[in-house]
Amino acid sequence: MVRSQCCDKVGLKKGPWTPEEDQKLLAYVEEHGHGSWRALPAKAGLQRCGKSCRLRWTNYLRPDIKRGKFSLQEEQTIIQLHALLGNRWSVIATHLPKRTDNEIKNYWNTHLKKRLDKMGIDPVTHKPKADSFGSGSGHSKGAAHLSHMAQWESARLEAEARLVRESKVIIPNPPPNRIGSTASAQVSDKSSAAPPARPQCLDVLKAWQGVVFSMLSAGISDSLESPTSTLNFSENESAIPLIGVQKNSATTLAFATNNAPCNGGTTAIEFNSGNQFECFEKLNEAAQVKQNLDSSLALHDISPDASNHNAWFDSATNENAPMGIVEGLSEILVCTSQDHNAFFAGENINDSCGGNLEENGNYWNSLLNLVDASPTGTSSVF
């Protein structure tokens, strides 16, 4: 099948965008929405192909884009998600609020890949170059489990990413417009010295790490279970709660009754009639989230044994309980949350957890050493 190349038409401009072109595109999209990208250039008075307009919008002009240096937490997220997902930048981007897949891809290729390489870690496999994780006979079973876990966790993350994308529709959070920004003004926002708030999406990593960690510490139990993870709907922690959904086909969602533990003025969604609630400040947000979750519950049955997964919820707004998710994986975890903290703080936790953690935990310790050494950050999120 021969496809017409949208940018092959004579007279269409390529290359860097001018401030005037940015202005035209921005003004048009803000007033009309992008609609059909193919039809947009003519309507907006641009001598560009629709694809070029779309890329310019999604990668630069879109108002909800954060530019500038990647934070320590973002680096950790990228590395860890890349270990799980590979080069699926769009999926990774859904877990990094306000970052584009293109930006993440560039950052990986120009920074993180090289750093891992220098550390002697294969940036593709995330294994030590000289050694292969789990290559020893004693680890083969664990490696198989890890691989199995990674496969379904990868698929689930991707499914969650779709859900996040859908849910973004209801999160109007437009920062100031970029009107007036120019192609030549593509400089990093170095004024944002203060570290950003901890993205909730990192909790999915904690959940995952908790599983991996417990597997290592428990000698890879046969009764391995899979974690659910959190969905990141917004960077605004106070407005949009962390949501855990039971990965059980019988999961039901309903708007909660008056006994929901939500503050006045908020609306609760009840999960499974099990006294598990999430509170929303706006009714329409709750309704939309419920709708999205209703239509997406099937996503959560992709684990090897969905019926064995326990529901868990994290009190995400409780910043004093950063390990809540991991603790929620009660049947999976062997070590205490303190052990986990120690592990992700790079401490030797063999004493408290037993097992062969030191060897298997080298990679994550290395990652932490990597980011600890980074001048961009001073503390670990874990």
Partner DNA sequence: AATAGTGCCAACCGCCGGGTT
Partner DNA sequence: GAACCCGGCGGTTGGCACTAT
* Nearest to DNA of 112, 205 (CB atom): 112
**What tokens were used for 22?**
């940015």
Nearest to 376 by CA among 74, 67, 66, 65: 74
Least Å distance between CB 23 and DNA?
A: 13
What is the contact surface with DNA in residues (CB under 7 A)?
Answer: 1-5, 7, 13-17, 35-39, 48, 50-52, 54-56, 58-60, 67, 87-91, 101-103, 105-107, 109-111, 114, 183, 186, 188
Least Å distance between CB 20 and DNA?
A: 12
Nearest to 82 by CA among 114, 59, 104, 110: 104
How far apart are alpha carbons 23 and 103 in whole angstroms? 22
CB-CB contact of 329 with 227 (8 Å): yes
* Nearest to DNA of 185, 321 (CB atom): 185
* Nearest to DNA of 51, 148 (CB atom): 51
Least Å distance between CB 28 and DNA?
A: 13
Least Å distance between CB 336 and DNA?
A: 36
Least Å distance between CB 314 and DNA?
A: 26
* Nearest to DNA of 130, 169 (CB atom): 169
DSSP secondary structure code for residue 308 in this structure: G
Nearest to 143 by CA among 233, 224, 73: 224
Least Å distance between CB 153 and DNA?
A: 16
Nearest to 123 by CA among 78, 153, 92: 78
Sign, CA torsion 216/220/223/229: positive
* Nearest to DNA of 92, 329 (CB atom): 92
* Nearest to DNA of 20, 358 (CB atom): 20
How far apart are alpha carbons 159 and 153 in whole angstroms? 10
End-to-end CA distance of the chain: 51
